[in-house]
Amino acid sequence: MSGLATAVALRHAGWDVEVCERAPAPPSTGTSLGLWPGGLRALDALGVGGTARDLSREAAHGRFVRSDGSLIGHVDMAELRRRAGDAVRVISRPALLGALTQALGDGAVSYGQRVTDVRALAADHDVVVAADGLRSGARTALFGDAHRPRYSGVSAWHGTVGLDVPDMTETWGDSARFGVTPRKGGSAHWFACARAPERASYPDGELAAVRARFGAWHAGVRQVLDRLAGPGDAEVYRNDLYDLAAPLPSYVSGRIALVGDAAHAMTPDLGRGACEALVDGVTLARRLASRDRVEDALRAYDSARRRPTQRLARAARVMNRAVHTRRRVAPVRDTAMRLFLALGRPPA
């Protein structure tokens, strides 16, 4: 996503851009993404904000509840809209990637092209943007294994369900949480997170594991679980959650820049990963377009993006640990969240 965003922005600035994508084809399935106002502004700068709004659905309200359904607090979407010009919208990953690819133009992306030596690529190009994700080979080549992915101790299940829900709802329980977000077309995206061993296997299948962990929670959660298709667990996906073992000392090296998860992989607890990836791309392109020397532009990009994204990564890590805490600490956690929602303002 950050690579496509950078490419679109650089094309608009008159650069000749090549995009190498290791996947054999565009994705046809994927999770939903929350687009906060900052991400929507980045999409506006890329000329695809209107398309993204058409392909997404606005969350009318945001609520945090306990496993018995009692309210912890709510996100004031109306205040967010007044302050930032937009509320939160939810879009499927394939839809957003498709909009960015279309904006880039036919034939601009070479699929099935894995870059194995980022330094060799830099020798033949003015600038190289490494957007190779959580397990970035470019990051390891440039900065070493100390910045490898680190397992958070939490695994996540997710999928879609045929429920028309207007709100974003996140339920917190004992070391676990369950979320539901609206999708375009009258369906919903759901996710469930719980502490688990890394790469754990479940002999009875993923859906059975989710039902065993969350089946006694409030009626809204049970309604989602009852709607899920069972045979083969075809609509239930699972992935372990990671961030970086150590933050990077820089997002650039020579004429190579890291963007998105390659630069600042974070757990999804704040729902900001997609937005920050888009902002990375727009910021990098603007710096490259406004400076004569690539090296100066990359330093300016690093100065603009490294500290704020690393702060968000730390905050996501703290949130991950707090949400997935044991029952005896949960009342303190819930009170802290209620006070934050009542007195604080989520970053736009």
DSSP state of 247: -
Average pLDDT in the chain: 92
Are 348 and 37 spatial neighbours (Cβ–Cβ below 8 Å)? Answer: yes
pLDDT at 232 over 50: no
- pLDDT tens digits for 191-209? 999 999 999 999 999 999 9
pLDDT at 154 over 50: yes
Strand partners, 192: 157, 178
Among 4, 32, 7, CA closest to 17: 7
Concatenated DSSP letters of 146-163: GG-EEEEEEEEEEEEES-
pLDDT at 41 over 60: yes
- pLDDT tens digits for 62-102? 999 999 999 999 888 888 888 888 889 999 999 999 999 99
DSSP state of 268: G
Residue 36, helix vs strand vs coil: coil
Q: Which domains does the chain have, with CATH numbers?
A: 2-60+80-148+243-322 (3.50.50.60)
Query: Of how many residues is the chain composed?
Result: 348
Cα gap 78→62, rounded to integer Å: 10
Are 35 and 50 spatial neighbours (Cβ–Cβ below 8 Å)? Answer: no
Tokens representing 146?
């100390």
List helix spans (H) across 188-256.
206-214, 219-227
- Residue 16 contacts by C-beta under 8 Å, 6 or more apart in sequence? none
The model carries a pTM of: 0.93
In this structure, of 217-221, 255-259, 341-345, the range with the lowest mean pLDDT score is 341-345
